[in-house]
């Protein structure tokens, strides 16, 4: 009788252990593989355990890939804090009230251009391990474009458009008054300064057919909602009333732009 009880207890304990080991298994999920943030902002790097399993008591690590190696930027175990990269000390923290729901997202404070790159979230238990990766792109919005006349270029007039202090590399577009893209006619130069910020200078030669208006548009990587900086320049010439009416209609459209848009008109 005792033998049967011992065998039954052994089988029961084996099932309990098997069930426990299965429920301890998890995967990590990132809600977005790419995160965008502006310099100086606090940004959340999202990461969570599947099925809302509690992360309390688990070891949580965040690493950043730098060149040929990964550096530790956060660890939940206090005895490992001496391993942390100094550039991230006092700039990272978890959302502790949410650990019970499996949220192991990392708050990264006052982001810098140097913070851009790939990050890995890792969660470790005594019998399981999982990780997930995402990328962070750091954005700096540059200056309002400055348009100037460069004098006569052959039968036309040369225009230049300059904007500084962007990251990452911005897009430069030249448009005519009916929004036809004429960027293929331009020549754009790009320079990066010691802080990793980009300056652009774009040159365009315009002719009599462009005299209704020229737009130089410089914008960054975020398109939703689209926010762009626009400046319009027109070669010196008298316009007839119909041209004035067309330009007036475009001006009404400009008034409806968001407050983020900055526009300057020169005639």
In this model, does residue 149 exceed pLDDT 90? no
Is-contact 105 93, C-beta < 8 A? no
76-96: per-residue pLDDT in tens? 876 666 678 888 988 999 999
Provide the total of helices (H) and of strands (E) in the chain, helices listed first. 2, 18
Dihedral-angle region of residue 145 (phi above 0 means left; psi in -120 to 50 means alpha; beta otherwise): beta
Q: What stretches of 60-208 show up as alpha helix (H) in DSSP?
A: none
Asked if the peptide bond before residue 225 counts as cis, ω within 30 degrees of 0, the response is: yes
The closest alpha carbon to 74, from 66, 64, 65, 241, belongs to: 64
In this model, does residue 235 exceed pLDDT 50? no
What pTM does this model have? 0.68
Give the sign of the dihedral formed by CA 194, CA 196, CA 201, CA 202: positive
150-187: per-residue pLDDT in tens? 877 667 788 899 999 999 999 999 988 788 898 999 99
What is the 8-class DSSP label of residue 237?
Answer: -
Position 222 scores a pLDDT of: 63
What is the 8-class DSSP label of residue 39?
Answer: T
Domains of the chain (ranges, CATH numbers): 26-139 (2.60.40.10), 146-266 (2.60.40.10)
177-200: per-residue pLDDT in tens? 788 898 999 999 999 999 889 999
Position 13 scores a pLDDT of: 40
């Amino acid at each position: 009788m005792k033998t049967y009880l011992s065998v039954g207890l052994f089988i029961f304990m084996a099932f309990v252990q098997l069930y426990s080991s299965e429920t301890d298994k998890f995967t990590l999920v990132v809600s977005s593989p790419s995160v965008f943030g502006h310099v100086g902002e606090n940004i959340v790097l999202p990461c969570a355990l599947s099925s809302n399993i509690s992360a309390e008591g688990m070891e949580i690590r965040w690493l950043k890939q730098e060149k040929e190696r990964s550096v530790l930027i956060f660890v939940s175990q206090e005895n490992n804090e001496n391993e942390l990269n100094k550039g991230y000390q006092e700039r990272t923290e978890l959302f502790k009230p949410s650990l019970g729901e499996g949220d192991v997202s990392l708050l990264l404070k006052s982001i810098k251009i140097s913070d851009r790159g790939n990050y890995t979230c890792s969660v470790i238990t005594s019998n399981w391990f999982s990780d997930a990766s995402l990328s962070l792109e750091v954005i700096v919005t540059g200056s309002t474009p400055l348009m100037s006349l460069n004098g006569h270029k052959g039968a036309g007039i040369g225009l230049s458009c300059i904007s500084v202090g962007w990251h990452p590399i911005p897009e430069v577009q030249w448009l005519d008054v009916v929004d036809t893209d004429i960027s293929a006619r331009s020549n754009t130069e790009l320079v990066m300064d010691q802080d990793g910020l980009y300056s652009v200078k774009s040159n365009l030669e315009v002719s009599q057919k462009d005299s209704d208006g020229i737009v130089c548009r410089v914008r960054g990587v975020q398109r939703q909602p689209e926010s762009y900086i626009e400046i319009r320049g027109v070669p010196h010439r008298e316009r007839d009333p119909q041209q004035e009416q067309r330009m007036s209609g475009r001006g009404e459209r400009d008034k409806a732009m968001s407050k983020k848009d900055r526009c300057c008109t020169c005639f």
